[in-house]
Structure 1
Amino acid sequence: MAAMGMTGWAAGGYVAVVGGLAALGGLTENGRFYLAAVLLTLPLGLAALVAVYVARGLLTGVGGLFTETSLPDGADPAWLTAGGVVANTLLFTAAAAATVLLVERLAARRRVSRRP
């Protein structure tokens, strides 16, 4: 296994930061963390944001077949909150990883086009 270069560490750190922001957004229920994750992963963060709402609908729809999707006080049950945090974290982490791959591909294409 080859040693990971500085670029690889930076890419891994970027993906970890975005995943951490998404997890903090869900755990603290603070939209600022999600906003930071979206901004850091643009343009793919917009697709992740749309996927968050699709995932929420799927979680609620499928979960609603088996159990209640809201508590008597109107709050979300723990399974829905936890599922949403996990789904959101996975989606934004995937967007960050895809952004890294996109940047690497664009950089490689640029290097090839600069060759005489």
Structure 2
Amino acid sequence: MGISRWAAGGYVAAVGGLASLGGLTENGRFYLAAVLLTLPVGLAALVDVYVARGLLTGVGGLFTETHAPDGADPAWLTAAGVVANTLLFTVAAVATVLLVERLASRRRASGRP
């Protein structure tokens, strides 16, 4: 495995770690960093975060409460949201790596440095 593969793996792990930290600490700065690191695919992931939240609340609401008595989110919704957000941003990082590899291979094929 070449150095570029290690760098790509580290990049994907860093983005996944930032998304996890964003959910665990409930700090939007980590999510913002994950979005910025995965541009332009990160914008789609950001939209998907809100879609996933709606789906989790809608489908989960069929089976259980979506708000605790004190008005906070229940633990199941918080945990599911953290997992979904981490997955979405990790997939965005992998898609970004694949996009960069494809653009680089096109550039090499055309003979440009």
Q: TM-score range by the shorter chain?
A: over 0.9
Name the residue aligned to 2:66. Answer: 69
Identity of aligned residues (%): 87
**Residue of structure 2 aligned with 1:28, choices 17, 25, 29:** 25
Residues 57-93 of structure 1 deviation map (CA, whole Å, 9 limit, x = unaligned): 0000000000000001110000000000000000000
Aligned Cα root-mean-square deviation (Å): 0.7
Partners of 1:31 and 1:9 in 2: how far apart? 28
**Residue of structure 2 aligned with 1:109, choices 91, 106, 111:** 106
TM-score normalized by structure 1?
Answer: 0.95
| Misfit runs of 4+, over 2 Å | none
SS at 2:95 equivalent: helix
> Unaligned stretches of 5+ in structure 1?
none
Partners of 1:18 and 1:74 in 2: how far apart? 31
Partners of 2:56 and 2:80 in 1: how far apart? 7
Name the residue aligned to 2:88. Answer: 91
Cα deviation for residue 114 of structure 1 reads: 1.1
Partners of 1:102 and 1:74 in 2: how far apart? 42
Partners of 1:5 and 1:75 in 2: how far apart? 47
SS at 1:71 equivalent: coil
Cα deviation for residue 41 of structure 1 reads: 0.1
**Residue of structure 2 aligned with 1:82, choices 70, 79, 84:** 79
- Does residue 19 of structure 1 match 2:21? no
